[in-house]
Every structure is written in structure tokens, then in C-alpha cells.
Amino acid sequence: MKQQVLFDDLGVKPYKETWDYQEVLLQQNIEAKRNGLPATQRLIFVEHPPVYTLGKSGKEAHLLIDEQQRAEKGVEYFHINRGGDITFHGPGQLVGYPILDLETFKPDLGWYLRSLEEVIILTLADYGIQGSRSKGETGVWIEPDVPGKARKICAMGIRCSRWITMHGFALNVNTNLNFFNDIIPCGIVNKKVTSLQEELGREVSLEEVKERVKAHFEEVFEAELITIELSGVSRI
């Protein structure tokens, strides 16, 4: 049988509010597992106002502007508990946060990250774009092995506790790429960042991208997404 995964589209939400929401769901699932109960699988979609986030092992030097400059540009900043280095979230970007119990899928973080990458690679293929993996780096790239042309279109960073995941991926759809000029994205120098809009030369429907990502998530994870109705859920 396919795994049932609750799907929750939060729309536009501040980063900290959504981070707190993930933490609550993570702890609820950990507590359920301690009591011998099944975890509640969930996939969250959200779009954040401009924010830089730095992973737990990232370097603050990769943020190239100070607090005053960030305030002038209207960008928040958080040092958070996911893996990976620094990245940007903002309007026009699809952020996905799977809260999954990998013990009911496959307890293997490498498999999990490759599976998330595969969801995005399949989505890009729907738009005629060849997404690829870059050896030793997470996320999805375009022409990763071509010097001077390698560019990242989807960043990934996760946290996992008792095989329960949080955080996830950020796919640049119509994202303002200028925000990436003020960081060293993912701590990787000499590689660019791109978006669907940049690659296709046109604005892309974010709602259409969401539907394609959902379909490929179901395909790759052998899951069935069950949409949460607003009237039936109390959000943080």
C-alpha cells in the first residue's frame, strides 16, 4: 500500500513561524513513536518573505551584508538547526518541508536526499530542463560539470531526529536572484544560482509547479498525498 502523507500548503508565511510549526510537528511525531504510535507523515509547501538561513555547520562569513544592510533590503536572518550552509528564501520560490518518518519509508539519509533530488529532477524535466546532481554536493544543478556554467536551481538541507525529518528543499521558480549576490550560496564559490524563470526566459506559474512537484513526490516516495482542508486543521 502507498504511504499516506498529509499535504499542507501554508501559502506565504514568515520563516520563524513556519520553523516553529515544523518543530512542533517533529516533537509530536517523536512522542508518538516513543508511545508506540505511528508518526503523522506530512509535506508542507510554503513561500517565505525574504530571509537568509544559515545551517548549523555553516560559516557566518558567507553572509556578505551586515544587519543594517539587511534591514534596508528587508531581509531577515536566522542561524538554524538544519544541515548545509547559507541560502536564501523569498517570493517566487517553492519551499517544501517533508515531515516524514523514514523508518516507514527507508531509514537512510542518503536515499532520502537523493529521492528529494529526484522529485525536483523529474519536475524540471517537465519543463525541458535537464537537472543533475553535483558530486559531493546536495541539491539539484544544471550543467554541474561544465566550468563556468554550473548553476544551482534547488537547494536542500535537512534535520533528522529519531528518523523524523524536517526542513527540506527550496526550488527557485520566479525568485529574484539578486538576493543571492549578498551571500556565498551554500558556501560554494564560483558557481551560480538560477531559476526556472531564468532558464526558460519567462515567468512560470508557481501553482503549476506545485502540482508537478506533488505528482513526482507521490511517484518517487510511493505515497498518496491527502490535502489538509483549512477547516479541519489548527495551525501554529
Catalytically annotated residues: 186
Question: Is 55 labelled a binding residue?
Answer: no
- Is 169 annotated to bind a ligand? Reply is yes
Q: Is 1 annotated as a binding residue?
A: no
166 is an annotated ligand-binding site residue: no
User: Does 226 belong to an annotated binding site?
Assistant: no
86 annotated as a binding-site residue? yes
Mapped to the 3 state alphabet, what secondary structure does the chain carry?
A: CCEEEEEEEEEECCHHHHHHHHHHHHHHHHHHHHCCCCCCCEEEEEECCCEEEECCCCCHHHECCCHHHHHHHCCEEEECCCCCCEEEECCCEEEEEEECEHHHCCCCHHHHHHHHHHHHHHHHHHCCCCCEEECCEEEEEECCCCCCCCEEEEEEEEEEECCEEEEEEEEECCCCHHHHHHECHHHCCCCEECCHHHHHCCCCCHHHHHHHHHHHHHHHHCEEEEECCHHHCCCC
Is 88 marked as a binding-site residue? Answer: yes
Tell me: is residue 114 an annotated ligand-binding position. Answer: no
- The answer to whether 157 is annotated as binding is yes
* Residues of each annotated binding site: 82-89, 155-157, 168-170
* Residues of each annotated binding site for substrate: 82-89, 155-157, 168-170
